[in-house]
Amino acid sequence: MCGIVAYLGNQDAYPRLIKGLHRLEYRGYDSAGIALLNGNIQVYKKKGKVSELEAHSAQQHTPATLGIGHTRWATHGEPNDINAHPHLSGNGRIALVHNGIIENYDLLKTALQKEGHTFESETDTEVLVKLIQAIQDRDGLPIEEAVRLALTRVVGAYAIVVIDQQDPNKLVAARKASPLVIGIGKDEFLLASDATPIVEHTNKVIYLNDEEIAVLHRSGDLEIKTISNEVQTPYIQQLDLKIEMLEKGGYDFFMLKEIMEQPMTLTNCMRGRINADEGWIHLGGVEEYASRITQAKRLIIVACGTSWHAGLIGEYLFEDLARIPVEVEYASEFRYRNPIIGEGDVVIAISQSGETADTLAALEIAKEKGALIFGIVNSVGSSIARVTDAGSYIHAGPEIGVASTKAFTGQVTLLTLMALDLAKRRGTISEGYYHRLLTELTLIPEKIKRVLEQDKKIQYIAAEIKDHTNALYLGRGYNFPVALEGALKLKEISYIHAEGYPAAEMKHGPIALIDDNMPVIVIATNKSAYDKIASNIQEVKARKGRVFAIVPEDDETISQIADYCIEIPETEEPLSPLLSVIPLQLLSYHIAVMRNCNVDQPRNLAKSVTVE
């Protein structure tokens, strides 16, 4: 989703802004632009990729040491050069980039039109820059004060950065519900939607809080106040991010790199948190609120997309092992349906980015109603991580591919640790089973390596599926959410329509679609329902469907019936999603590559969804 980058210092801003925009590409966007201040403001904007903006601006721009840049993911107005950011005030004095949605833009626009302002674009952002101009013109205010007063009239979400031609030594930035990070370098400031454009310049950062406005001066001074004009003390933090984490490291796509990293990322997720020999699990976030979480009447998991699928596995884990009732909710539905939440509830938000607007809003509602809110988050320092009462990071490192892979397995690992910890505390699990699960969990990274070794075979199977227009994914129990996740992976990056279904539920609808043109991918690793899944496969075969099955190593029965099989190592059933999802990730990756799709940046999708 929209990405912001800005520079103020003594170096040439242009290459820093362009590089920053490339770093932000992974968020998903459809146009890009920059504004440079050198005497006056020059704006360059282009529909399409950052490389197209570069081709358009590289030769023309003049050197500048102050500038702002933006990647736009269209909300108001189609993706085109005019709607791209930065937007200028009518007098050309102010330039602004924005991430978020100004909900009352129509009202503000009508009022500004009455005062004689005209509009070129269809965006809500142009309304904001013209509102700032109107306030500045009327009261002769410095830019930061005009911005602050304008924001008191705005309803909605924003992260903005503003420059003023008559104040060339200043960057003004503000946020509400959309992220913004300030990087403090040597004689320079870099500002961005996330730390990825900042890390190669400095590791000293400030995460701007909601309704704060920052003024960065060329002298190195930095002031932060609230929109209601209260001075704040800046809190400087160290970034724990390495530049190599943002590179492809020899892989063709970030998605493949991230799939291959999973043995390492899951090891990192478990490091210091589990000891199978001594039989303990330590999750700092849980320990802090141990009695409230252990005695929770109900767990409510809120999330979106792939994180929601991880949440569904969480439901199986918490109910099966810790015997706590669980509800798993799409954050976007939960927030608008007047949910019943009590003080005995614990609301768990799962989010890779930690910035998903709907998940954040759902948490605010839960907090207001007195529930304890817990975050399972990847992105360190993100909004969800900061707003929750307690939480645990999954430590997967930056995930750049839009299709989530290592974050998903990290989330499931964290949920497994948490469910086992709660099961032990609540006495709902036998000693023997607890120890078996702990031991098996620590073996998962090695077992994932064995699944990854089957890449060639999975590539072969991908070639069999790539030309189809539909696919069906079936799973039962713990592996039903894996079927949903497999189908999501396929549709989001290869644009093949796919549906995930509980295997037995297939009879109530999807079976009507099955013929020799319908690939059916079945996750058949559950010991408890093995025979039942075998029967479901027979039902598909009887209708000439082509079955691609994920089976346990040395499987005998299903391998005889299915057309193609991928064998994965045996494990305890509650842990099986951590293995069965891996071939599905690789399958969708290879199919997307074979179909020449942009694997890391699929059309219309965004990595970090900061608008609702």
Binding interface with ligand G6P (CB under 6 A)? 304-307, 351-353, 356, 359, 402, 404, 605, 607, 609
DSSP structure class, residue 330:
E
**What residues have CB less than 8 Å from 79, skipping those under 6 apart?**
30, 31, 47, 72
Nearest approach, Cβ of residue 206 and ligand G6P (Å) = 22
Separation CA 32–CA 84 (nearest Å):
6
Q: At closest approach, how far in Å is the CB of 234 from ligand G6P?
A: 26
> With contact defined as beta carbons under 8 Å apart, do 560 and 587 qualify?
no
**Residue 438: which residues within 8 A CB-CB, separation 6 or more?**
274, 275, 276, 279, 281, 420
Measured CA to CA, the distance from residue 158 to residue 610 in angstroms comes to 9
CA 86 to chain centre: 24
Task: For residue 219, give the DSSP letter.
Answer: T
- What is the closest distance, in whole angstroms, from the C-beta atom of residue 399 to ligand G6P in the complex? 8
Q: Is 261 helix (H, G, I), strand (E, B) or coil?
A: coil
CB of 27 to ligand G6P, least distance (A): 9
Q: Which residue type, as a one-letter code, is found at position 30?
A: D
Q: Are strands 31-38 and 87-88 parallel, antiparallel or unpaired?
A: unpaired
Q: Which helix (H) or strand (E) holds 519?
A: strand 519-523
Helix (H, G, I), strand (E, B) or coil at 66: strand
Q: How far is the CB of 281 from ligand G6P (least distance, A)?
A: 24
Displacement of CA 355 from its chain's centroid (Å): 7
SS3 456: helix
Integer Cα distance of 498 and 484 in angstroms: 9
Q: Phi/psi at 592 (nearest 5 deg)?
A: -65, -40
| 607 is known as an active-site residue | yes
- Tell me whether residue 57 or residue 353 sits nearer to ligand G6P (CB atom): 353
Per the CB < 8 A criterion, the answer to whether 574 and 437 are in contact is: yes
Q: Which of 2, 269, 304, 597 is catalytic?
A: 2
Residue 189's alpha-carbon distances to 68, 143, 177, 579, in angstroms, are 12, 18, 22, 44
Distance CA 67, CA 86 (A): 10
Alpha-carbon distance of 202 to 184, in angstroms, equals: 6
Of all residues in this chain, which one has the CB nearest to ligand G6P in the complex?
Answer: 305
Active site includes 2?
Answer: yes
Q: How many residues does the chain have?
A: 612
Q: What is the closest distance, in whole angstroms, from the C-beta atom of residue 612 to ligand G6P in the complex?
A: 12
Q: How far is the CB of 164 from ligand G6P (least distance, A)?
A: 34
**Closest approach of ligand G6P to the CB of residue 610, in Å:** 10
The one catalytic residue among 45, 109, 257, 607: 607
- Spatial neighbors of 55 by CB under 8 A, at least 6 apart, are none
Any idea which residues carry the catalytic annotation? 2, 607
